[in-house]
Amino acid sequence: MPKFGHYMKQYDHEHHNGWNKLLHAIGIPIIFAGIILLILMPWQWGLGLFVAGWALLFLGHKIEGNQPAFFQGALYLLVGPVWVAKEIKELLLGQPKDNPAKESRQV
C-alpha cells in the first residue's frame, strides 16, 4: 500500500485551480462542523452544513474539470482535510509549495 505522502501528492495534483482550492478550504471545515452539529444539536443544522460543504466541493471540481479524489478510494476522505490544513498553513506562513532552497540543501 502506498504511503500517505503518495496520496497527498496525488490530491495536490488534482487540486491546482485557485477556485477549487478556495472552495475546498471553505467546504471541508463546513462538512466537519456539520458532522459535529449532527452529533450535538438538532439534525437539521448539521445536515444543512454537511450538504452545503459537499456542494462547495463538487462545485470546485466542476470548475476544475475533474472528479473528487474519493472516487478513487475512501482514503481520500482523510487526505482532503490534511491537504486543506497544509494549504492553509502554507498560505499563512508564506511557505512556497516547492522550496528550491530546501531541495538544494538535501542534495
- The 10s digit of each residue's pLDDT in 21-36 is 899 999 999 999 999 9
Domain boundaries, the chain: 25-92
Q: Which residue type sits at 5?
A: G
d(CA 9, CA 49): 28
Q: Please, are residues 24 and 15 in contact by the beta-carbon 8 Å criterion?
A: yes
Give the whole-number percent of the chain exceeding pLDDT 70: 89
Q: What pLDDT band is residue 70 in, cutting at 50, 70 and 90?
A: confident
Say whether pLDDT at 104 is over 60.
no
- pLDDT single digits (tens) 52-67: 999 999 999 999 988 8
Q: Which comes out higher in pLDDT, residue 84 or 50? A: 50
Query: How far are the Cα atoms of 19, 55, 78, 82, 100 from residue 96, in angstroms, in the given order?
Result: 18, 29, 23, 17, 9
